[in-house]
Amino acid sequence: MTASTMDRLTPDNTALLLIDHQTGLFNGVTTQTPHDFRANIVGLAKLGKIFKLPTIITTSAEKGPNGPILSEITSLLPNAKIVSRPGEINAWDNSEFVTAVEATGRKKLLVAGISTEVCVSFVALSAVRAGYETYAVLDASGTWSKLVEDIAVQRMVQAGVKPTSVVACGAELQGDWRNPSAAEFGPFMAEVLPFYGSVIGSYYGAKA
């Protein structure tokens, strides 16, 4: 591994943290359309499946107004560790959650959730302080106000959190179209970026 690739996300150094993607909270997000937001969340979960990333899901007050985890997430990632927090707003304050993160053995963390300025930023900031290289997957995160989201992103960036997107994470994890995961990642890219479907078709046509 070269110095230039050591800093990259890879399937071997990355874990996925999904924070409070719950049905009740989902309904309050206005920074994206419901269709786009759901598609981005599902896309991130699919990356977790494609690249076999250790995944930790956490919820807050899931039997109350916040509701259960979006069913698409649990369907795609049935073996993910789920931590149901009894009261902590910052998931990093929950010892079971932190222990689960530590148990992955990974030092790069993809973090996404609802809401961006609380559930995502609090975990991301805490993880940076704990020595993790932390990426906030912003299009798989959402909140109630664009202004609030912008402020949260600025706060995270100032603390060393790296903003990113679902497609950027996928491309970085794939790394090279010759890697075996291309068989799943190619169709994924065609799905999340329909215009890219023709590019994927050309790629596989050239290999035929």
pLDDT at 60: 94
Rounded to 5°, the CA angle 89-93-95 comes to 130
138-153 residue pLDDT tens: 999 999 999 999 999 9
pLDDT at 3: 42
What is the average per-residue pLDDT within 91-115? 98
pLDDT at 208: 64
149-172 residue pLDDT tens: 999 999 999 999 999 999 999 999
What is the average per-residue pLDDT within 5-30? 93
156's CB contacts (< 8 A; 6+ apart) are 120, 121, 124, 125, 136, 163
pLDDT at 54: 98
| Residues with catalytic function | 119
Half-sphere exposure (CA, 13 Å, Cβ side) for 69?
24
pLDDT at 157: 98
What is the average per-residue pLDDT within 104-121? 97
171-208 residue pLDDT tens: 999 999 899 999 999 889 988 887 777 776 776 677 66
Sequence length of the chain is 208
What is the average per-residue pLDDT within 44-64? 96
- Between CA 10 and CA 161 the distance in angstroms is 18
